[in-house]
Structure 1
Amino acid sequence: MPRLFFSKKRVGMEKIRSAVSNSYFVLALALVGIFIGYLLRIFLSRTLTLEEFGLFYAVSAFIGLFTLVRYLGLNQALAKFIPEFLIRNERGNIKSSIAIVLVIQTLTIIAFIMLVFAFREQISLSFFKSPAAEPVLVLMMLSFFPSMFFTIFQSVFQGFQKLKLYASVEPVRILFTFAFSIIFIDMGATGVAIAYLIAACVTTAILFRNFYGLGVTKVKSKVSYRLARKLLGFGVPVFVSSIAAIVISYTDTIVITFYRTLQEVALYQVALPTSQLLLVFSGSIAAVAFPLISELYSRKRYKDVEKGVRIMSVLLMAMIMPFVAVLATFPETIIVFLFGDSFILASFTLQVLSVSMIFYSVFVIFQTTLDGIGKPFVTTKLMFSMAAINLILNLLLVPVLGITGSAFASLIAYLSGAVIGMRYVSIHAGVTLPFRRLAKIIGSGAIAAAVMHSLRALLTLPILAEFILSVVAGIAAYIAAASVLRAITFEDIKFIESKGNIPGPVRKIARAVFRKRSA
């Protein structure tokens, strides 16, 4: 009997290690897509006028607000039910499900396009305050059709566990978008919209071959009302719970567009994505945390759940803090170097948003914990609370303070989300944060910022050399302070290693930095 228990435990840990490895692979390709997308944004900022840049991203936010209506949660339903159909060898149901999703999404897209097309002129003049918005709006709407196909293909790949194909969809799309943007950039924002449309078509054409190779189209099938109800029964709740995420993602840009100018939208659209690069760290931690917490909680190892969450919150804060210090100390240098002098007015907004990402990253840990212990409804309540705070504050602050008001709205909303999330996690999982250790990390970050700020004031070198020397010194000061204060210990690294895979480079660096102090 003990041998059987050990075998089950070993199998369980092998599954979690496999899940973590797959999460890292998907995350790695997602990072590639983010990197290419960020390069595209830099390219556009340096080739479009400030108003054209703001116009394109204002239209993108407006279109993005209706993304959920297009999907209705049905893509997630495909990813959910395809594995079940495969286990039961019901390939006909897979084909029928894809057909149902195609029909429903086609109808919603047609309805949306007809509505916006009928009022395109009024929307362009009243909302975007520019007639140049009309062709961009129409082209971005038309891209919904090819996008529908490749996003469905992506969900099918996920359901079939073709993770390489699943993870490659977005990097391929954004790479083609970048390439076609270079070709059509002389047409301004309209040319970029054309690039998005063509890239969506090309991506769909390329992925169709892989989709066809799955053999789904060759089987006989029959569309049934019961199957449609099953898909919608899963998809609609997902759709409802995702509304909050869409509100958080797009309403700030929408509100800025409505109350302020396209130039301010442009400024915000360099500050926001630059600060969001910090979310790479919370994404990495979440990739490990979700399968780990799920496994430990299912085994009723609640103490390990608490220990895991506490350690991961410390590691996340330790990873993000030096980069927040850099962004807060050198916002002008970073923005001018990447985007040019025209965007320097976004510097203070970048500082505020960078600090806000600390709280959002902590919120991600709480969200992942609640999902891992099987409390998705609580997560949904938490998301809607944060979205409501964000929307209300944007409506109150943006008309008066512009993009600075939107940045503070995000800061307060994310702080509120972290506080509420901490309460929920304490109630449902009995987990509290190690505030003393987190304070040490924040203190180490403050020391790093002070070192960088002092060197910036003392050095009289060229800007780039000054930036590099200050950042190197600041990060060295941060590591030294965190090590001396024992903000992170070698036992933390050993715990995470024992529960799942840590990427080799991260493991080596962590061991090298914290071995001595933990000995």
Structure 2
Amino acid sequence: MPTLKRKIYWNLILSYGGLLISSFLGYLANILLARKISLKEFGDFSTIWGFLILFSIFLDLGWSSVAQRYIPKFNIRKKNGNIKEIIIVSSVSLLFNGLISLIILFFLSGLISDLLKIKNSNLFFIFFAGIIVMVLENLYKTFVKSFQDIKNVNFGEIIRGIIYLSGIFFYLNNNSNLTKLSKILFVSYFIEIIFFIKILFPKIRGEKLKLSSKRIKIYFIYGFLTIGIGFNNYILNNIDILMLSVIKDNISVANYKVAVNIFKIFVTLFSGIFVFFTPLIGELYAKRDFEILKELIEKIYLFLLAGMVPIFSTLIIYPMVYINIIYGTKYYRAYGGLSLLSFGLIFLILSYINNGILYAIGKPKEILKITIVGTIINVILNLTLIPFTGLYGAAFATSISNFFMWIYTFFVSRKELKFNVNGWKLLNFLIAGLIFIIIMVGFRMLLDWSIWIKGPISFAVALIVYSIYIFITKTITREDIKKLVKI
């Protein structure tokens, strides 16, 4: 394997490994937090943080995207003075924007706290400090990543995760939990910033700062163009939580957040497909190896569906097992929400694959269009359903928007590459999934055993029948496995 290709794939492995470890620490900290504080506190925290994330878009102003685009170019050309310019100007811009945001928050905090049902409006100011250091941390992490220093990026993320997890474990008790949590967040992000500064300083030390109003103007224009994507993603990821808070209550927010977090754990696990296959798709597209590329995409679809259907089915049938084990029985209202979210899991993962295809062939504008469509559908459904069905409406809206995003991305990527996914095989997966669910539901309804006995037994029986059906109908064959390995 050529040195450049080996380096690319090694960086991908490091990135995904670091993502898994840091995500695991983050999920573990979130689980511990949800267990240690009350439902109301967890709902208030989720609502406050979800609202304040909106300010992160204004604080950053697209500087992370500027760094990703220009720092690698300047690094190759040995223009470290220009890199210094980006680092200093973006840092000053962020702090200035933070001051303006704080003034805006000061005048609006009373209205916002009433709207979001937060009794203590001071919590918005307390957590705002955490938002500032979070955005600054993300900016400096992007700087380090732009130098292809993936190892130190991962190390910094893991350090922060350990500090945050340890702080929740040792520091939180029954008094002033949210105030203490804000301090833990601030310290964990601040220490990571210091670590990244130590990594960056030797790279730009001794370089003369080169300020150019023309370049800075270009940076600002490019950054502003990316704000739309950030705002759209914010709406897509947070609108349901804010609507639940405004229309219902923060207890509903807490239960919904728990269901979403379990959903995201599986999204993170399957995101490795997106990470590893995007550069390979890009390479095949550049070489115009369209036949191999079409075959690769079809095989990714088949094997991804084969792995996801059993997991998807258990989330639908036994959501209480996942929630009770991970978060505890006090979040029992999240059971139905997790089942409904699970319907959208497969579609979200498949849309990620389609997004990877579009990224790899240089069609990022299509992804923006897709997320806008998904956001509009999500907002309309949330406004329609939440007043009547609460968190179940929010979960259903998310699944439906994921389904439409998959449909959109599928047809756009198919139009670009003209690949085909065998319709009969997709139908067989649907039938196999229904068989899997029927077997598990049958065991659950007919056997009066402990869930800890009939759950694993029903899963094992369903998995055996599912596997036999897949191979008998030749939905997946040995030849498919050999071809994927060969590619």
Q: Normalising to structure 1: TM-score of the pair?
A: 0.88
The 1:252/1:117 distance shift into structure 2, 3 A limit, reads same
Structure 2 unpaired stretches of 5+ = none
Q: 2:200 is matched with which residue? A: 211
Contact 1:276/1:357 (CA < 8 Å) preserved in 2?
Answer: no
Structure 1 unpaired stretches of 5+ = 1-9, 500-519
Q: 1:157 is matched with which residue? A: 144
1:161 is paired with a residue whose SS is coil
Q: 1:244 is matched with which residue? A: 232
| Structure 1: distance between partners of 2:484 and 2:275 | 12
Structure 2 residue aligned with 1:442, among 430, 447, 456? 430
What are the residue-to-residue correspondences of 1:180-219 with 2, within 5 Å? 180-186=167-173, 187-212=176-201, 214-219=202-207
Q: Offset of 1:384 from its aligned partner?
A: 0.7
- Residue identity opposite 1:165 in structure 2: N
Q: Is 1:378 paired with 2:369? A: no
The 1:358/1:139 distance shift into structure 2, 3 A limit, reads same
Q: Offset of 1:261 from its aligned partner?
A: 0.4
Q: Offset of 1:15 from its aligned partner?
A: 4.2
Q: Offset of 1:100 from its aligned partner?
A: 1.3
The 1:148/1:476 distance shift into structure 2, 3 A limit, reads same
1:432 is paired with a residue whose SS is coil
The 1:57/1:18 distance shift into structure 2, 3 A limit, reads same
| Structure 1: distance between partners of 2:132 and 2:275 | 31
The 1:94/1:283 distance shift into structure 2, 3 A limit, reads same
Structure 2 residue aligned with 1:349, among 317, 320, 337? 337
| Structure 2: distance between partners of 1:24 and 1:322 | 26
| Structure 2: distance between partners of 1:452 and 1:255 | 34
Q: Offset of 1:356 from its aligned partner?
A: 0.7
Contact 1:281/1:320 (CA < 8 Å) preserved in 2?
Answer: no
- Residue identity opposite 1:323 in structure 2: I
Q: 2:28 is matched with which residue? A: 39
Structure 1 residue aligned with 2:90, among 97, 101, 108? 101
Contact 1:16/1:291 (CA < 8 Å) preserved in 2?
Answer: no
Q: Is 1:119 paired with 2:117? A: no
Q: Normalising to structure 2: TM-score of the pair?
A: 0.94
Contact 1:281/1:316 (CA < 8 Å) preserved in 2?
Answer: no
The 1:243/1:434 distance shift into structure 2, 3 A limit, reads farther
Contact 1:76/1:235 (CA < 8 Å) preserved in 2?
Answer: yes
| Structure 1: distance between partners of 2:420 and 2:375 | 24
What are the residue-to-residue correspondences of 1:53-452 with 2, within 5 Å? 53-124=42-113, 126-132=114-120, 134-186=121-173, 187-212=176-201, 214-452=202-440
- Residue identity opposite 2:461 in structure 1: A
Q: 2:441 is matched with which residue? A: 453
The 1:172/1:116 distance shift into structure 2, 3 A limit, reads same
Contact 1:255/1:398 (CA < 8 Å) preserved in 2?
Answer: yes
Q: Offset of 1:308 from its aligned partner?
A: 1.7
| Structure 1: distance between partners of 2:479 and 2:221 | 45
| Structure 2: distance between partners of 1:368 and 1:255 | 30
Q: Offset of 1:464 from its aligned partner?
A: 2.7
**Deviation readout 1:29-82 (Å, 9 max, x if unpaired):** 111122222222221222111111111111111112332222222112212211
| Structure 2: distance between partners of 1:317 and 1:16 | 28
| Structure 2: distance between partners of 1:411 and 1:382 | 15
**Deviation readout 1:70-114 (Å, 9 max, x if unpaired):** 222211221221121121111111111111111222222221122
Paired-residue identity, %: 22
Give RMSD over aligned pairs: 2.0
Contact 2:56/2:135 (CA < 8 Å) preserved in 1?
Answer: no
